[in-house]
Amino acid sequence: MSKQGYEDELRSERHYVTDLHRRLDTERARVKREYTAALRGTGGTPMERDFEVRALAKEAKRLDVADNGLCFGRLDSLSGGHSYIGRIGLFDEGDEYEPVLLDWRAPASRAFYVATGANPENMRRRRQFHTRGRQVLGFTDEVLGRPDGAEQGDAALLAAVNAPRGEGMRDIVATIQAEQDEIIRLDHPGVLVIEGGPGTGKTVVALHRVAYLLYTQRERMERHGVLVVGPNPAFLNHIGRVLPSLGESEVVFMTTGDFVPGLRVTAEDSPEAARLKGSLKILDVLAAAIAHHQRLPEDPLPVELGGVTARIDAETAEWARDEARKSGLPHNEARAVFTEIVTYVLTERAIPRIGKGWLTRDDRKSWERLRADLLKELAEDDGFTAALDQLWPVLTPAEVLGSLYSSRTRLRAAGADEVLFRADGDAWTVSDVPLLDELVDLLGPDKSVDRAAERERKAEAKYAAEVLDSLVGRQDSMDDEDHLFATDLLYAEDLADRVVEQDTRDLVERATADRDWTYRHVVVDEAQELSEMDWRVLMRRCPGRSFTVVGDLAQRRSVAGATSWDAVLEPYVPGRWVYRSLTVNYRTPAEIMSVAAAVLAEFAPDVRPPESVRASGVRPWARQVAEDELAAAVEDFVRDEAGREGTSVVIGPPGVPGAVAASETKGLEYDAVLVVDPERILDDGPRGAAELYVALTRATQRLGVLHRGPLPRALAGLAEVAPPVRVGGRP
């Protein structure tokens, strides 16, 4: 194409994209008008109005995020037609309602991502726009069906991967590659495992898959939402913008420490304690810990009943305990069985003494009448309740686990290793969360709490009904010249409806606060770190077993984590999971990846490192420093990077000034990375090499290493550089 031809085409494309933005503005204004009207509206029930308001609010959010990169490409078919591809779909304003912009998730958009020179998908050209905000800066054409087209088509991808990193992960909607697109659109109802080395884009692919599933299965998925599980809050913050930028907001983000609402994690386990808590063997320990609270009396417990003293002896309690355990009910619910047996024995023993010989079993009606009176008396007797609490107490998960950890005697009785002992039983760790969640099911609800909540709900509903009745009564008694405002009745009706039926929180708020909430789909990132007990929690959260599992077994750091996907998934979804791998590294330049690959070969020689899509031309370096030089060397790096565009981080073991642990950077990326004391990272436990591998592969442009001891053998490929010359104490 000539220069003049290019300029003419560019003007035409700018005009088209400008018109798309005009349509977007028009649609956005319409939705906001309807939203405002719905807020003020009086038609329909409060529930119907609330539903309309929420639906319009979602649509407004979807339109609000579409400005940046609204249209990023165009496809020209062999038949002469063309389609524009963008972040959302837009339609013309005529009767035909033809698409003027295809949503990237639409089937007709697929060729934009998968067409190649060898397989053009009936397309002759792919055009990619370079935009800033609403402005089209230029475009790149890839002529399909020609072997030289791919070189032109790589321009947009290389521009994206070479661009400085910002504060969060960006969507890749404009540069999805063919192997990524295949995974995003994969039609599989069960579990999909996406494995790939550092920088292969597995996380962002999983998030785009969520957006695709919400687009194709919105009615099924949106009511219950999607859960995304990540390794730490920093990671969730990093990826948190991707789905909203794609117009999707019905997504809950959690770490494994957030599974129990309201719980605060304040402590950290030793590796051995984490391994034990993560194993399914801990289930036997939990069961034994609960059983320890199901006691027999050492001496008979007296209960005053009908003017006589009855006693709960060990034989009675044992019978009741056996029956309660055989019921298969959770502990708190089985208390009713225990209570029923005990009350039966007590009343059977008390009735003849109360009757003083005149009442026999032959007088069945009198016997049962007296029994009913005695049962009522027992139900209201604080002494009897105290006896039940001693023998079969209502328990909470925190009580069971906290009392177990803080007692060596209980640990031994439950068959648990004393490595689990801690003086402060309630100082929760991340590994405790799945155990507390498990105990919710093993114990069952505290009925007294449920009854109190039900009483409160009924009181509120009664109040709302009384307000409504009083207003209606006022209207009936008014003279013709008086009137009751319609808003008064609407207020009362709305109050009653909301109290009895509605929860005005949005889906994310409701799901986050509800331990029993279930999701239609779950994404698990850094899945290799999850323990067997973590997976039990996740499977409870998604009964339909629809998962996207993202991970890299070679990067596993946790001693309780996965060693194979088969071992993790087969117990839950036998034959219902598929595996896909990503092999191209879009983050890490070849110069850095060659260093990381040497470390990978040390601890996972059978794992093939991903192939970098680019080279940066910048060689990674190493420098040995003395103890008293370390702080200044770190400061030099921080100061130098502060003058550059992009992001940077210092990664090192505890004690290094200004450094974070490699585990805190999992899933994150930075333009520049300084790794400090790699020899100490390697010495930190059995997975130290995986930790160093993670640290080395966070960089997208520049990598430096500071070491005080000898440089580890695996890093021998790094170029040693001399320290900067300092003048007056400054470099």
Count of CB atoms within 10 A of residue 80's CB?
A: 7
Give the residue from 615, 594, 595, 610 showing the smallest Cα distance to 554: 610
Task: Decide: helix, strand or coil at residue 188.
Answer: coil
Instruction: Fill in the amino acid letter for 718.
Output: L
3-state helix, strand, coil split of the chain in percent (to 5) is: 50, 15, 35
Whether 198 has a binding-site annotation, put simply, is yes
Whether 203 has a binding-site annotation, put simply, is yes
User: Beta strand pairing status for 123-132 and 135-143?
Assistant: antiparallel
Distance CA 712, CA 526 (A): 27
Instruction: Fill in the amino acid letter for 336.
Output: A
Torsion of CA 705, 707, 711, 715, to 10 degrees: -20
Whether 166 has a binding-site annotation, put simply, is no
Q: Name the H helices within 142-270.
A: 149-162, 178-184, 202-216, 218-221, 233-239, 242-245
Whether 200 has a binding-site annotation, put simply, is yes
Structure tokens at 512: 């986050």
Whether 199 has a binding-site annotation, put simply, is yes
Torsion of CA 8, 12, 17, 22, to 10 degrees: 130
Distance CA 246, CA 61 (A): 10
The angle, 0 to 180 degrees and rounded to 10, between the axes of the packed helices 282-292 and 433-443 is 50
Distance CA 252, CA 247 (A): 14
- The CA–CA distances, whole Å, from 679 to 503, 592, 693, 713 equal 55, 18, 12, 10
Whether 201 has a binding-site annotation, put simply, is yes
The β-bridge partners of 73 are: 85, 128
Task: Specify whether the CB–CB gap between 91 and 100 falls below 8 A.
Answer: yes
**Residue 719, C-beta contacts closer than 8 angstroms, at least 6 positions apart:** 619, 620, 621, 622
Distance CA 101, CA 83 (A): 7
Residue 523 φ/ψ, nearest 5 degrees: -105, 130
Annotated binding site for ATP: 196-203
Annotated binding site: 196-203
